[in-house]
Amino acid sequence: MSWSAVAKKDFTDALRSRAIWAISVVFILLSVVIAYVYGSFSADQLGTEEVTAEGLVFFLASNITLFVSITALVIAYKSIAGERESGSLKILLSLPHTRRDVLLGKVLGRGAVLAIPVVVALAIGAVVGSAMLGEVAAQALLALLVVSLVFTFAYVSVIVGLSAITGSTTRASMLTIGFFVLFEFLWGIVSIGIVWASNGFSLPQSTAAYPDWIFVVNQVPPSGAYTTFLYALVPGASGNAADIDAFYATPWLGAVVLLFWLVVPAALGYWRFSKADL
């Protein structure tokens, strides 16, 4: 399989980045600190109803979204645009690789690089936290691992897809940073703006009066879908869908949104990439 050769080479090349290892070490240390804090503090100190092994899962998950999104930008924004700009992509395509092989290989190779610190950090954090709590929520921890890996590959797929749209690393960086800022920092404002416009250019008197469909809007960012999907797999967790009486208000919506981010941006990037003049 030609795409596997591209993925293997990309995986090996990305591992040489000192920036990735530095960010990964910081992330792993943060996971240990978060697990230790959760296991050491009382529910009142943490601002939670109770300290449980399942709660540890969501505490660890809070560290995943920012790390994955930032690191995906670092390792993937030049994945295709950089090779087009330098001309090395022509050499790669002179081998028995199609453009689809290149894009798929980049997603899998760089996703695997990012998956390593995610798995290590979650494993160490789970051991530390579970040891301090004196109990293990095996099913919840497995759910955290699965959802985190899906989120990791989805985010890398988005960034590689954006990189495939252009042959300039400058434009690729602008596209990827713009995506990150919009969906990780500004989406709350966008969400409120949609409610404001749909409510006759005024906001409801309280958050309880917000329309039910705002739940769907809030799942659009990959990080929001990640947390919601996690609620679907952790036993006894309901999340913010519990108070909404609508057929779409289900934590499984997070899985659908993550699948969208995993497939659609890469597909659109490939469509543009396949027509590009190298």
Can you tell me the mean pLDDT for 109-129? 92
Cα distance between the two ends of the chain:
24
At residue 204 the predicted structure's pLDDT band, cuts being 50, 70 and 90, is confident
At residue 86 the predicted structure's pLDDT band, cuts being 50, 70 and 90, is confident
At residue 277 the predicted structure's pLDDT band, cuts being 50, 70 and 90, is confident
Burial of 207 (0-12, 13-18, 19+ CB in 10 A): exposed
Instruction: Check pLDDT > 80 for residue 125.
Output: yes
Number of neighbouring beta carbons within 10 Å of residue 142: 14
179-192 residue pLDDT tens: 999 999 999 999 99
Instruction: State the maximum Cα–Cα separation within the chain, in Å, rounded to a whole number.
Output: 62
pLDDT of residue 143: 93
CA-wise closest residue to 147 among 48, 96, 74, 223: 223
Query: Domain residue spans in the chain?
Result: 2-275
Q: What is the mean pLDDT of the chain?
A: 86
pLDDT of residue 239: 63
- For residues 278 and 274, what is the distance between their CA atoms, to the nearest angstrom? 10
Can you tell me the mean pLDDT for 264-270? 94
Full-prediction pTM beyond 0.95?
no
Instruction: Check pLDDT > 80 for residue 230.
Output: yes
Q: Which residue has the tokens 């910081």?
A: 26
Instruction: Check pLDDT > 70 for residue 48.
Output: no
pLDDT of residue 243: 63
Instruction: Check pLDDT > 80 for residue 110.
Output: yes
At residue 92 the predicted structure's pLDDT band, cuts being 50, 70 and 90, is confident
- For residues 73 and 117, what is the distance between their CA atoms, to the nearest angstrom? 15
Can you tell me the mean pLDDT for 77-81? 90
Contacts of 32 (CB under 8 A, 6+ apart): 124, 125, 128
pLDDT of residue 41: 72
